[in-house]
Amino acid sequence: MKQLVKHVIAAGLIGLVANHSIHAQARPLTGYVNPFIGSEEHGHVFVGANVPFGAVQLGPTQIGRSWDEFNGWDWCSGYNYISQEILGFTHTHLSGTGIGDLNDIMIVPANGPLQLRPMQFEKPETGYGSLFSKKSEVCHPGFYQVHLDKYGVDAKLTATERVGIHQYHYNKTENAHILVDLGFAMNWDSPVKTFIRQVNDSTFTGYRFSTGWSKDQRLYFAIRTSQPILKAAFYNDSTLQSGREVESKRARAALYFDAASNPDMVLKVALSPISEENALANMNAEAPSGSFDAFRLRADQVWEKTLGAIEVETKNDTDKEIFYTSLYHMFLGPTLFNDANNDYLGTDKKVYKNAPFKNYTTMSLWDIYRGWGPFMSIVRPSLVKDITASMLAIHQQQGRLPVWPLVGSETDCMVGNPAIIILADAFGKGIIPADQRELVYQAMKHTALRDSMGLEYLKKLSYIPADKMHESVAWAMEYAIADAGVARVASALGKKADAEYFTKRSQLYKLYYDKQTGFFNGRFADGKFRRPFDPLYSVPVTSDYTEGNAWQYLFLVPQDVNGLITLLGGQKAFKTRLDSLFTISSKLHEGTAPDISGLIGQYAHGNEPSHHITYLYNYLGEPWKTADLVREVIGKFYKASPDGLAGNEDVGQMSAWYAFSALGMYSVNPMEGKYFFGSPLFDSAKLHLENGKTFAIKTNNNSAGNKYIQKIEYNGKPYPYTYILHKDVIAGGELVFYMGAAPGKTYGVSPSSR
């Protein structure tokens, strides 16, 4: 810690030491983060350098393998731990998504013969890029390092919010150059128009317009080099152009410098969604001067402060590594989508100047509404406030709330109205300002009442016919959750008629319950249920469910758990069905979506619709079953290794389940402001809240064997409930769990409520 303070003082960051999130400790919290966790198999996490929620995610980009041969799906982020090659370094990445995009502004530190096209997997000598040794690869929060064997280049990367900073040391200097490839694209993306110009001997600006998952992405950039460029060669695809600029579908530029005299080159690359001028302004605002090491230190300290919002203590360093890596993953996205002056590009492609909020994009709303949103409402409500403002602005620009916004475009990925759920949660917790409450409600109501995507049927208090819409059950179940959110907000605003109407809509899930099969099933326009029926069938598009089967969707009613219990025949029958979910065979049919992973029976932890299910035993007076399952999920599906996640990280939700559960709780209904208890993992935890208060969690007699809660105290008094309210958490205080090796005889025996 003494060495850390020494560096902090040297960087002029001594003010951080006074912040409650920096504490005396033998090891910095950033030292527990392992960014490679989840970078193999289906985790799809970003590996590289950035700061929390930064617009820049600077990291290596690899060759995405073909779907048939190597399942290119596992290169959605542009990186997979099993790869042994790096094409170069790009400035935008996705983390944990199931679709790929971005990887914009390719930079290749090269030497020898100029190669303008990326190498092929089968023939690495055919183009730019290099093999590398895993032993040379290092990644910490805000920092990435690797040695490129082909070029003999030692590469180091760090970042600010809008500027990527590269440091290259050339061990081989012949014909040393920096290749800028604006035409590079992943399998999901394609350039439309690209441009680069030379401003002077060390400054270049341009843009890259592309289409992919984001149908109309517009990205502007500015590059500044630490030593002069002696010659800049511009290419229209592979054809050399005269002059100091080039515009083309696939523009490229080779920037030559005297590496023999100075083998070290530092590049600063600033991004903007608005203009080249704003990109330069972002660079001047965030990285006008300073050494690479100074920027690296600054990024490290921003991460240290961010992670310090929660202190946990445990004798198990592996649990601590997974926990702080989970927090790290949760702070990778959503990402900033504005400039340093708060200008941003709307989904209507208009420029909005000096916005009164931070505009965000990369919102995987269907995933993150379940756990990530409620978690951030505790530790970073200011972020949630900006996200709700961003979603309200999108509603004004495109006429409806977002589903999956990505860099200025609506992807319409996934089902339902997930933005409504996050807004309802924020509304109930007082995060939305008073002067925006009515605007937010009208946006929710307007989005829920539009005549598209099956809502035309729900408006009539009916069901979505399976012969009119694919995955109709999934759409309807998700709509029902969102409608419960509209009803909650309407009731809070005194809109009685609206509250009654949307409450009825939130109950429409019952229309899909097929008593003959005992599952929610697709119904056709003539009222008949789908026959033959197979609860394990889940082939994408052709089934009635999205990334799941009838078993997982049987329990997707977090807004009305007690109503679901009644629908399935009462508590005894519900217990039997819930037990069966975890004990039946995990075998799946051929062709099943790969998202159904992390299986315990047919519980699928690798995908979000299952995430609340282990906590449902709290409603049944059997919280020890929740404890058993939570510990089993943690043990099986979260590991300190590259294959340490059971499914897509999904921009933080997979990690949010772990972080929440390791603290001993989780949000079943993400709009209710209740966090149900499970089985705390740590000896103690302190949540340093934005309001200046601290919520402390202590666990007595905790171990792998002592996983069952015996009793609870809150602020020194016996606590009889199986959950804690959000308002009690943010008020600060102390929650104490007493643990034992056998289920507590009295704790949670009767479902508690207040």
Distance from the Cα of residue 701 to its chain's centroid = 34
In a domain, 180, yes or no: yes
| 402 and 479 housed in the same domain | no
Q: Quick one: 695 exposed, middle or buried, by C-beta within 10 A (0-12, 13-18, 19+)? A: buried
Query: Hey, CA dihedral for 106, 111, 116, 117, is it positive or negative?
Result: negative
Higher pLDDT, 744 or 659: 659
Residue 438 has pLDDT above 50, yes or no: yes
Closest of 354, 398, 522 to residue 419, by C-alpha: 398
Q: What does the pLDDT read at residue 164?
A: 98
Residue 12 has pLDDT above 50, yes or no: no
Q: How confident is the model at residue 66 (pLDDT cuts 50, 70, 90)?
A: low
CATH number at residue 290: 2.70.98.10
In a domain, 433, yes or no: yes
Helix or strand holding residue 717 (H, E): strand 717-718
Count of domains forming the chain:
3
Alpha-carbon distances of 594 from 178, 371, 548, 608, rounded to whole Å: 39, 22, 10, 13
What tokens appear for 228 in the block?
């002069």
Residue 607 has pLDDT above 60, yes or no: yes
**Quick one: CA torsion of 297, 299, 302, 305, rounded to 10 degrees?**
-60
| 363 and 471 housed in the same domain | no
Higher pLDDT, 546 or 125: 546
Quote the percentage of the chain above a pLDDT of 90.
91
- What confidence tens digit (pLDDT) does each residue in 174-197 have? 999 999 999 999 888 999 999 999
| 421 and 495 housed in the same domain | no
Residue 310 has pLDDT above 60, yes or no: yes
The span from the CA of 122 to the CA of 138, in Å, is 26
| 397 and 491 housed in the same domain | no
Q: What does the pLDDT read at residue 298?
A: 98
- What confidence tens digit (pLDDT) does each residue in 615-627 have? 999 999 999 999 9
Q: Read off the DSSP letter of residue 75.
A: G
Q: Read off the DSSP letter of residue 32.
A: G
Q: What does the pLDDT read at residue 542?
A: 86
Give the helix ranges, DSSP H, for 512-637: 550-553, 561-567, 571-583, 623-637
User: b/e per residue, 732-743, with b = 16+ CB within 10 A?
Assistant: bbebbbbbbeeb
Average pLDDT, the chain: 94
Which of 224-228, 449-453, 536-540, 740-744 has the lowest average pLDDT? 536-540
Residues 575-593 have a mean pLDDT of 94
Residue 23 has pLDDT above 50, yes or no: no
In a domain, 11, yes or no: no
The span from the CA of 32 to the CA of 321, in Å, is 5
- What confidence tens digit (pLDDT) does each residue in 699-708 have? 999 999 999 9
Which of 19-23, 325-329, 424-428, 451-455 has the lowest average pLDDT? 19-23
Tell me which amino acid residue 294 is. A
Q: What does the pLDDT read at residue 686?
A: 98
CATH number at residue 505: 1.20.1610.10
> Do residues 1 and 26 touch, judged by C-beta distance below 8 A?
yes
Query: Hey, CA dihedral for 394, 399, 405, 410, is it positive or negative?
Result: negative
In a domain, 162, yes or no: yes
Residue 219 has pLDDT above 90, yes or no: yes
Q: Would you put residue 115 in left (φ > 0), alpha (ψ -120 to 50) or beta?
A: beta
Residue 652 has pLDDT above 80, yes or no: yes
Last residue of a domain, one of 278, 307, 336: 307
**Quick one: CA torsion of 743, 745, 747, 751, rounded to 10 degrees?**
100
In a domain, 62, yes or no: yes
Last residue of a domain, one of 242, 276, 307: 307
The span from the CA of 179 to the CA of 198, in Å, is 14
| 430 and 371 housed in the same domain | yes
Residues 499-510 have a mean pLDDT of 98
Helix or strand holding residue 492 (H, E): helix 472-492
CATH number at residue 377: 1.20.1050.60
Closest of 335, 327, 432, 320 to residue 376, by C-alpha: 327
Residues 289-299 have a mean pLDDT of 97
- Residue 646 makes CB contacts below 8 A (sequence gap 6+) with 42, 597, 598, 605, 606, 636, 637, 638, 654
Residue 172 has pLDDT above 70, yes or no: yes
In a domain, 133, yes or no: yes
Closest of 114, 107, 263 to residue 196, by C-alpha: 107
Residue 21 has pLDDT above 90, yes or no: no
Residue 123 has pLDDT above 90, yes or no: no
Cα-only R_g, the chain = 26
What tokens appear for 92 in the block?
């935008």
- What confidence tens digit (pLDDT) does each residue in 448-499 have? 999 999 999 999 999 999 999 999 999 999 999 999 999 999 999 999 999 9
Residue 91 has pLDDT above 90, yes or no: yes
The span from the CA of 413 to the CA of 446, in Å, is 20
Q: What angle do CA 471, 472, 477 make, to 5 degrees?
A: 105
Beta-bridge partner residues of 311: 686
β-sheet with 674-677: strand ranges across: 665-666, 674-677, 723-725
Closest of 370, 321, 226 to residue 666, by C-alpha: 370
Residue 695 has pLDDT above 60, yes or no: yes
| 463 and 432 housed in the same domain | no
Q: Quick one: 511 exposed, middle or buried, by C-beta within 10 A (0-12, 13-18, 19+)? A: middle
Q: How confident is the model at residue 25 (pLDDT cuts 50, 70, 90)?
A: low
The span from the CA of 9 to the CA of 61, in Å, is 35
| 88 and 188 housed in the same domain | yes
Tell me which amino acid residue 711 is. K
In a domain, 333, yes or no: no
Q: Read off the DSSP letter of residue 529.
A: B
In a domain, 711, yes or no: no
Q: What does the pLDDT read at residue 121?
A: 75
**Quick one: CA torsion of 562, 568, 571, 577, rounded to 10 degrees?**
-120
- Backbone phi and psi for residue 638, each to the nearest 5 degrees, phi listed first: -130, 110
Q: How confident is the model at residue 753 (pLDDT cuts 50, 70, 90)?
A: low
Give the helix ranges, DSSP H, for 193-341: 276-286, 292-307, 317-330
What tokens appear for 329 in the block?
């993953």
Residue 659 has pLDDT above 70, yes or no: yes
| 354 and 383 housed in the same domain | yes
Range of the domain at 363: 346-448
Q: Would you put residue 538 in left (φ > 0), alpha (ψ -120 to 50) or beta?
A: beta
| 206 and 118 housed in the same domain | yes
Last residue of a domain, one of 448, 470, 503: 448
Q: Taking every pair of C-alpha atoms in the chain, what is the biggest distance, in angstroms?
A: 82
Residues 386-412 have a mean pLDDT of 98
| 223 and 360 housed in the same domain | no
Taking the model in full, what pTM does it have?
0.95
> Do residues 509 and 476 touch, judged by C-beta distance below 8 A?
yes
| 238 and 361 housed in the same domain | no
| 129 and 190 housed in the same domain | yes
